[in-house]
Amino acid sequence: MKVVRNFVALCLITSAALLAGCGGDPSSADVMEVFNAQVEKQAQMMQSIGGKDAAKMFDRMVPKVTDVDVKSCDEIRDDVFKCDIELTAILNDQESTKITTIVLGKKKDGSWAAM
């Protein structure tokens, strides 16, 4: 019986930890995913407009985001957060780091989107 109680307690603790990760403000990985999705979407638009050559040119002109660090986030309304982030990117072999503010909203599927 003690084994069953311990197993149930472990399941409850694990479930609580997983649920805690589902809510709240966006993580650095979430922000990186949003940036990568935006760049991919723009690259596809460039290719549909100008073909593969335009997509290659776009690829050379767009900085490659290498690191995102979420410094702080404030919920400005339900599931919409204004976040201060530190962004590191490389363009033409030059790395630069910038602190900026972005607004992200949580979609119904749980993923994040730029607002």
For residues 74-87, average pLDDT: 96
Q: Does this model's pTM top 0.85? A: no
Compute the distance between CA of residue 107 and CA of residue 94 in angstroms, rounded to an integer: 34
The CATH number of the domain holding residue 107 is 3.10.450
Examine residue 49 and state whether it is found in any structural domain, yes or no. Answer: yes
Give the residue with greater pLDDT, 20 vs 57.
57
Compute the distance between CA of residue 15 and CA of residue 8 in angstroms, rounded to an integer: 10
Give the per-residue pLDDT at 19: 35
96: Cβ contacts below 8 Å, ≥ 6 apart: 88, 89, 90
Give the per-residue pLDDT at 88: 94
Examine residue 89 and state whether it is found in any structural domain, yes or no. Answer: yes
Give the per-residue pLDDT at 111: 93
Give the residue with greater pLDDT, 18 vs 94.
94
Residue-level length of the chain: 115
Examine residue 91 and state whether it is found in any structural domain, yes or no. Answer: yes
Selection from 93, 102, 99, 109 nearest residue 35 by Cα:
102
Neighbours of 102 (CB within 10 A): 19
- pLDDT of 9 > 60? The answer is no
Give the residue with greater pLDDT, 15 vs 51.
51
Examine residue 66 and state whether it is found in any structural domain, yes or no. Answer: yes
Q: Which domain holds residue 68?
A: 25-114
Q: Note the Cα 55 to chain centre separation in Å.
A: 23
Q: For the chain, how many structural domains are there in total?
A: 1
